[in-house]
Each structure stands twice: as structure tokens, then as C-alpha cells.
């Protein structure tokens, strides 16, 4: 074993080059996994924030066929059932729907969302983007927030009146008057030209409801708790006429995008691994060929081929471990940098990034999960070991005489 | 006691379509404690003979008995085991493992045999002193002269107290003074330890030191002379 480690240092430059190659491969893989995962998590988080929570509770059949008359009437029962569930940080009840908004000048189809104006989480969504006016106030029913694009189309400004029209809970067409309380600008044209925010109270008046909601957005501590929380929620709400869906089912486009992007990243990782493997194969094979005579001599002395095989495998293992320490250090450094400072893509994108209907922050933060690192380390280790096998077998099959007398 | 008995040994190498008769019918017997030199011109089959006796290669025909055991019938693993325990090798060059020190090189075989540390250390230090390398234990091969390297190789060959030490042209890469000193050292070992040596060479001065000289020519023994018998007969042979 001492021999194996000394053998590695015999050709210091080659060993170092290989170590750097494996190390850089690992580091690159770690950074790319970190940024990929981090980016996806940010994307999902933002999708979840903009959308309907990590888990959405809505009337049975709403996902397939949404309509304004599908209402959860006994929302109090649901709110009661959602109390004190582990992993659940916050719930927000909403009424969502589609309708037609008109001003004196123009009209436009929109999607509206009604929230409790007192809920900080819902407020944090649009309040920072307000360019004029204010956020909805608690208690008022007739206020509406619209986007800049819609305001321009309708030729309205803060304080002006608009009429919202749509199918109510009893499938009749109803309308209600709203006053523009604020105008926001997110930079996402889908939102700015299409999405309106009103209060629950206002929505109930508009839809002719005494009570009831159409959706409960459940926010968890993190996106990784969905699988744990989902069955608990489902069992608690099992007796009610609602469907409990994870974000993956509510936002299938986002899921598909993340999966596709992941597949791309894996391909990239695969290529890195192949390059790393070739690098190792080259080093080990060269170093074995170079020592043919030496191995032949050792075999002649009575060293068992088995032992020689193990020695070369040990050399490879040592090389892999050293490289992994190097690469792990580099990769972790890179990851740490991108996790704290972030990768700023602002320069690359003239407009704000929107993907699958969600805003993506132009600064990407790396996030590495321990499981992923372990997986990666094991894969690189196995790749290294497998590549060491061929030279090791080759060496242990040497015929001593031929090896000694070859010049 | 008879250590080596070679009967009707033939070795044919196949090179492309060519058949090369390296050994054509060798009969030979070595007594325990003998110091024998195999001489002969280049290509006469010296290396081939030593390799076959050492179990490094297999003959085309014939038998080789080592301490009564026919080694031509042994499997690969048994042969390897036999080389480790019964035979010491000294090659012409590149004898030592470059990454190991003189001490570690001499220790190599004992390590493979699994001798305990204390015993091993004492034994190896003793041997290195005997071959005149006291104080150089921690040198790596490239820090030693050719002669010193060959001495380490001899120490290693002797470490396991083998029945037979085979040395194929151990002096070929040394200047003649160093080479002769190496042979003297081997003769010493032969005397004090009673180890059987079989050495190949084409250096006549090395032959002069031997107590038995076997002359090979074209794969056959052309003369086999023990010192004390007529030297004239030796030089008169063609
Ligand atoms: N592996 C081999 N393949 C083919 N022919 C070989 C092989 N090894 C040796 N020979 C041939 O067998 C013959 C005997 O070779 P050998 O090496 O035994 O001679 P030698 O007496 O040791 O010569 P030298 O003094 O040059 O070392 C030579 O003709 C050589 O060319
Ligand atoms: Mg030879």
C-alpha cells in the first residue's frame, strides 16, 4: 500500500494533471448541479408564491374544469382542518376566477384573485411592485389592483372606476363596480395586462356569495416537504368535497420545464464524467504500461497476480480520493460563492425572465443538497474505480518473462 | 543432495512462422551448494535455460525437477508460490522496485511471505550488512550505483533462504572490477550459507571464479567442467 502511494508520486506532474482533471470535473459537476437545483428551487418557489401555494385545496374537479360557480362553501371547516399540521407554515384562502373588466374607454378579459387584504404573504406579492396608489385595505370591498398594461388599455388611473363582469355562483351573469386602488408593474406582461387583485369581501359581493372560497393556498416550510405534508392534508380533508393537489399538478408546465432542464443538466454531467473517466484511464494505463518490466520482475519474484491487481486498484482509489478532496473543495468553494453572491444573469436578459408563467429572479443562487453531493461522489468514485479495472487486469495477466525481456 | 535435475529439456520459440530452437535437449544436474556458471555466446540459450529452471516459462519438452518436484507440471499459482519460497532471482538490470528503498526492496519477498516485522527487520539488516550495504538502507535505487543495486538484488534473492539462486548475467551492466566484486560476494554467500548458485555470463573472468562451468552452444551443452578437472579441456573445446 505504501508502494501504491509512492507510485502515484513517481510521476508527480501526471498525477497532478489527472487529479486536477478529475477534481475540476467534480467541481464543475457540483457547481452545475448546485446552480441547476438552486435555479429550479427558486423557480418553483416563485411559481408557488405567485400561484396557489405548495399545495392547493380547491373544489373537486376544479383543476380539470375551472369555473366561477365551483365554490367551497364551508371554508371555516377547511380552515379548522388545516390548523396545526406539521410543515404547514401558512394558509391563504382565496377566490379566483375569470371575468371581463371594462372602463369607459375599453374592456378586456382578465383573471382575478381575491384575498384577505390583511394577509402579509399575499400582500408581499404585489405590494412591492406598485407604481401608483396603494395596496388593498382591510375591510373595503370595492377596491381593485390592476397592472400597468391593463391600466393603459382601459385608459384608467388610480381612483377611476371599472366594472367587473362574470358568471356568478348561480351561473348568472353579474357585475360589480370597483375603484382602482393601485397600479402595479412586475415586468411580466402576462401579469401586468391580465391579473387583477380584489378583496374576498369584494369578490363575494360580485359573485353573490355570503361566504365561501374557491381555493386555499397552503404554504409549507419548503418545497421539499410537499410529499410529507400531502398525505396528512388529504387524510384531514378526505371527507370534504375538495381536491388536494401538489404544485406539480397545479402547475404542470413548470414541472415539465424543470424536468426537461434537469435532463439537459444530466446530459452535461454525463459528458463531464466521460471526460473524467478518459483522463483517469489514460493516466493509469500509461503508468501501468510504463512499469511493465517492473511488474514482470515482481511477478517473477513470486508476487501473486492477485496482489498486483489489488495494488493497482489501490493506486486508482487513492488517486480518486485525492482528486475528490481537491474537486470537492473547489466545487464547494464555487457553490458557496454562487450560493451567497449568486450568478447574475441580468446582463444576459433584456427583459425579465418568465418561464412557465412564473417570474424568475435574474440572480441565480446555488443550492446543493447533501444527497446530491453523496450521489455525485459515489458516481465519480465508481467511475474512477471502473476505469482502473482494465489496466489492473492487464497488469496482473502479464507473463513475467516477456515483461522482463522486452526492451 | 541433488537440487536441480534437468532431463532432455527442449524449448522452441515461435516467432511469426519461424521456429527457433533455443534449447535442444539439455541434461543437467546441480548438487546442493554448488556454484555453477553457465557460459556461452549470445543467443546460445543461457537466459532460456535459467528462466525454465526458475519456473518463469514452460519448456516445449522435457522435465525439470526442483528438489525432486517436477515443476513443469505445476499450475500458475503453484509456480508463483514456488518462486517466492524456493528460488532467488537476480536479473541483469532493473532489478529493484524504484519507489522502494534498499531496505524495502530486500524486505519485499519476506513481506510477501508474511514474516513478522521484528524477525524480518533483523534478517534484512543482517543481509544488507553481509552484502556490504550497511548504512545505505534508506537509499532509493536511483541513489545507488549499479553495483550497489545488484547487491541489494542479491540480498533480496537470499532473504528467503532459497534452495537455489538464479542470476542471469548479473554483472553485464557493471564495470569488470565491480562485477568481479559482486561475484566474490556471491561466492562468499555460497560458502557461508551453502546456497546453490546458478549464474549465466559471457565474461571469462567470471567463469574463472566458478567451481563449475557449463558451456552452452546453440542450445546444447558443449562442455561441463568442474574446477580441479582439466582446465585445458575447457579451453580446448570449440
Ligand atoms: N521470447 C522469444 N521469442 C523468440 N525467440 C526467442 C525468445 N527468447 C529468446 N529467443 C531466441 O532463443 C535463442 C536463445 O536466447 P537466449 O536469450 O536464451 O540466449 P542467451 O544465451 O541468453 O543470449 P544473451 O547472451 O544474448 O543473453 C536466441 O536465438 C533468441 O533469439
Ligand atoms: Mg540472455
A350 pLDDT band, cuts 50/70/90, is very low
Ligand 2 centre to CA of A55 (Å) is 82
User: What's the B201 CA to ligand 2 centre distance in angstroms?
Assistant: 8
Looking at beta carbons, which residues of chain B come within 8 Å of A298? 97, 108
Reduced to 3 states (helix: H, G, I; strand: E, B; else coil), residue B102 is helix
What values do phi and psi take at A172, rounded to 5? -95, 155
Bigger pLDDT: A317 or A279? A317
How high does pLDDT run on average in chain B?
A: 87
- Distance between first and last Cα of chain B: 32
How confident is the model at residue A354, as a pLDDT?
Answer: 52
Looking at per-residue pLDDT, the higher value among A43 and A305 belongs to A305
Give per-residue pLDDT as tens, A142-176: 888 888 888 888 888 888 888 888 887 677 788 88
pLDDT band at A59 (very low <50, low <70, confident <90, very high): confident
* 3-state SS, residue B212: strand
B43 ligand 1 Cβ < 6 A: yes
Residue A3 and residue B84: Cβ atoms within 8 Å?
Answer: no
CB B4 within 8 A of CB B66: yes
pLDDT band at residue A4 using 50, 70 and 90 as cut-offs: low
pLDDT, residue A346, reads: 58
Q: Are B44 and B205 in contact (CB under 8 A)?
A: no
In the stretch 93-112 of chain B, residues with CB closer than 8 A to chain A read: 94-95, 97-100, 104, 108-109, 112
For residue A300, give the nearest of B56, B98, B104 by CB distance.
B56
B131 C-beta neighbours (distance < 10 Å), count: 23
Task: Grade residue A348 by pLDDT with cuts at 50, 70 and 90.
Answer: low
Quick one: A13 exposed, middle or buried, by C-beta within 10 A (0-12, 13-18, 19+)? exposed
DSSP A352: P
* Mean pLDDT of chain A, nearest integer: 79
pLDDT of residue A310 exceeding 60:
yes
Question: What is the domain class of B2-226 according to CATH?
Answer: alpha beta
Q: Are B100 and A6 in contact (CB under 8 A)?
A: yes
Which residue ranges of chain B lie beneath pLDDT 70?
Answer: 228-238
CB–CB of B197/B3 below 8 Å?
Answer: no
Ligand 1, atom 12: nearest CA belongs to which residue? B22
With a 6 Å cutoff on the Cβ, whether B54 touches ligand 1 is: no
Kindly provide the ipTM of the predicted complex, given to two decimals.
0.86
Query: Using an 8 Å Cβ cutoff, are B216 and B44 in contact?
Result: yes
* Distance from the alpha carbon of residue B222 to the mean position of ligand 1, in angstroms: 17
CB within 8 Å: A304 and B80: yes
* Per-residue model confidence (pLDDT) at position B236: 39
More confident residue, B57 or A407: B57
β-pair partners for B213: B37, B225
Give distance in angstroms: CA of B217 to centre of ligand 2: 13
- Say if CB A390 and CB A285 are below 8 A apart: yes
User: Best interface-test mutation with A: which of B79, B80, B86, B96 has the largest number of A CBs within 10 A?
Assistant: B80
Protein residue with least CA distance to atom 30, ligand 1: B43
The C-alpha atoms of residue A75 and residue A82 are separated, in whole angstroms, by: 11
Contact A79, A65 (CB under 8 A): no
* Concatenated DSSP letters of A86-140: TTEEEEEEEEEEEEEEE-SS-EEEEEEEEE-TT-HHHHHHHGGGEEEE-PPPTT-
Reported as a pLDDT band with limits 50, 70 and 90, residue A8 is low
- Residues in chain A within 8 Å Cβ distance of B98: 10, 294
Nearest ligand atom owner, CA of B18: 1
Q: Is B13 in the pocket of ligand 1 (CB under 6 A)?
A: yes
Of ligand 1's listed atoms, the one at least distance from the Cα of B219 is 14
Partner A contacted by B89 (CB < 8 A): yes
**A307 in reach of chain B (CB within 8 A):** yes
DSSP character string of B15-48: ETTEEEEEEEEEEEEEETT-EEEEE-STTSSHHH
Which pLDDT belongs to residue B88?
92
Q: What is the pLDDT of residues A169-203, one digit of tens each?
A: 677 788 888 888 889 887 777 778 888 888 888 88
Amino acid at each position: 500500500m505504501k508502494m501504491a502511494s509512492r507510485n502515484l508520486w513517481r510521476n508527480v506532474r501526471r498525477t497532478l494533471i489527472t487529479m486536477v482533471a478529475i477534481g475540476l470535473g467534480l467541481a464543475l459537476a457540483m457547481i452545475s448541479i448546485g446552480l441547476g437545483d438552486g435555479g429550479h428551487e427558486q423557480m418553483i418557489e416563485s411559481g408557488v408564491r405567485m400561484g396557489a401555494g405548495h399545495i392547493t385545496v380547491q373544489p373537486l374537479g376544479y383543476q380539470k374544469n375551472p369555473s366561477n360557480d365551483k365554490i367551497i362553501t364551508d371554508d371555516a371547516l377547511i380552515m379548522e382542518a388545516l390548523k396545526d399540521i406539521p410543515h404547514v407554515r401558512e394558509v391563504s384562502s382565496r377566490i379566483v376566477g375569470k371575468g371581463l373588466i371594462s372602463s369607459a374607454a375599453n374592456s378586456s378579459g382578465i383573471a382575478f384573485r381575491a384575498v384577505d387584504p390583511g394577509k402579509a404573504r399575499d400582500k408581499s406579492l404585489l405590494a412591492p411592485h406598485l407604481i401608483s396608489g396603494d395596496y388593498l385595505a382591510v375591510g373595503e370591498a370595492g377596491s381593485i389592483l390592476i397592472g400597468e398594461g391593463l391600466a393603459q388599455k382601459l385608459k384608467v388611473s388610480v381612483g377611476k372606476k371599472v366594472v367587473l363582469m362574470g358568471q356568478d355562483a348561480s351561473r348568472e351573469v353579474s357585475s360589480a363596480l370597483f375603484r382602482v386602488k393601485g397600479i402595479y408593474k412586475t415586468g411580466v406582461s402576462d401579469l401586468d395586462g391580465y391579473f387583477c387583485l380584489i378583496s374576498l369581501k369584494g369578490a363575494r359581493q360580485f359573485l353573490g356569495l355570503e361566504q365561501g372560497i374557491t381555493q386555499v393556498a397552503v404554504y409549507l416550510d419548503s418545497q421539499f416537504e410537499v410529499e410529507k405534508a400531502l398525505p396528512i392534508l388529504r387524510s384531514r380533508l378526505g371527507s370534504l368535497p375538495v381536491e388536494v393537489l401538489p404544485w406539480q399538478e397545479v402547475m404542470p408546465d413548470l414541472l415539465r420545464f424543470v424536468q426537461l432542464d434537469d435532463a439537459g443538466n444530466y446530459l452535461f454531467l454525463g459528458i463531464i464524467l466521460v471526460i473524467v473517466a478518459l483522463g483517469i484511464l489514460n493516466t493509469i494505463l500509461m503508468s501501468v504500461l510504463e512499469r511493465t518490466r517492473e511488474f514482470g520482475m515482481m511477478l517473477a519474484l513470486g508476487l501473486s497476480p492477485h496482489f498486483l491487481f489489488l495494488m493497482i486498484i489501490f493506486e486508482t482509489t487513492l488517486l480518486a480520493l485525492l482528486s475528490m478532496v481537491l474537486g470537492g473543495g473547489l466545487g464547494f468553494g464555487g457553490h458557496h460563492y454562487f450560493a451567497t453572491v449568486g450568478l447574475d444573469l441580468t446582463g444576459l436578459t433584456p427583459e425579465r425572465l418568465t418561464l412557465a408563467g412564473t417570474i424568475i429572479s435574474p440572480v441565480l443562487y446555488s443550492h446543493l443538497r447533501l444527497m446530491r453531493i453523496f450521489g455525485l461522489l459515489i458516481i465519480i468514485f465508481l467511475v474512477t474505480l471502473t476505469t482502473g479495472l482494465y489496466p489492473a487486469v492487464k497488469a496482473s495477466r502479464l507473463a513475467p518473462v516477456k515483461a522482463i525481456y522486452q526492451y | 543432495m541433488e537440487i536441480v535435475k534437468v532431463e532432455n529439456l527442449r524449448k522452441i520459440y515461435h516467432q511469426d512462422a519461424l521456429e527457433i530452437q533455443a534449447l535442444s535437449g539439455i541434461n543437467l544436474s546441480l548438487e546442493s551448494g554448488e556454484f555453477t556458471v553457465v557460459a556461452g555466446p549470445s543467443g546460445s540459450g543461457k537466459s532460456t535455460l535459467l528462466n525454465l529452471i526458475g519456473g518463469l516459462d514452460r519448456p516445449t519438452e522435457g522435465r525439470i525437477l526442483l528438489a525432486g518436484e517436477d515443476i513443469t507440471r505445476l499450475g500458475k499459482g503453484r509456480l508463483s508460490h514456488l518462486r517466492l519460497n524456493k528460488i532467488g532471482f537476480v536479473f541483469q538490470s532493473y532489478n529493484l522496485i524504484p519507489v522502494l528503498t534498499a531496505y524495502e526492496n530486500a524486505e519485499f519477498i519476506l513481506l510477501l511471505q508474511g514474516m513478522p516485522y521484528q524477525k524480518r527487520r533483523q534478517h534484512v539488516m543482517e543481509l544488507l550488512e553481509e552484502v556490504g550495504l550497511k548504512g545505505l538502507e534508506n537509499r532509493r535505487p536511483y541513489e545507488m550505483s549499479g553495483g550497489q543495486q545488484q547487491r541489494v538484488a542479491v540480498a533480496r534473492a537470499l532473504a528467503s533462504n532459497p534452495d537455489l539462486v538464479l542470476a542471469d548475467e548479473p554483472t553485464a551492466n557493471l564495470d569488470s572490477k565491480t562485477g568481479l566484486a559482486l561475484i566474490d560476494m556471491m561466492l562468499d554467500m555460497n560458502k557461508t550459507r551453502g546456497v546453490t548458485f546458478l549464474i549465466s555470463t559471457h565474461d571469462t573472468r567470471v567463469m574463472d571464479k566458478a567451481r563449475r562451468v557449463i558451456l552452452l552452444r546453440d542450445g546444447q551443452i558443449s562442455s561441463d567442467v568442474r574446477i580441479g578437472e582439466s582446465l585445458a579441456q575447457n579451453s580446448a573445446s570449440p
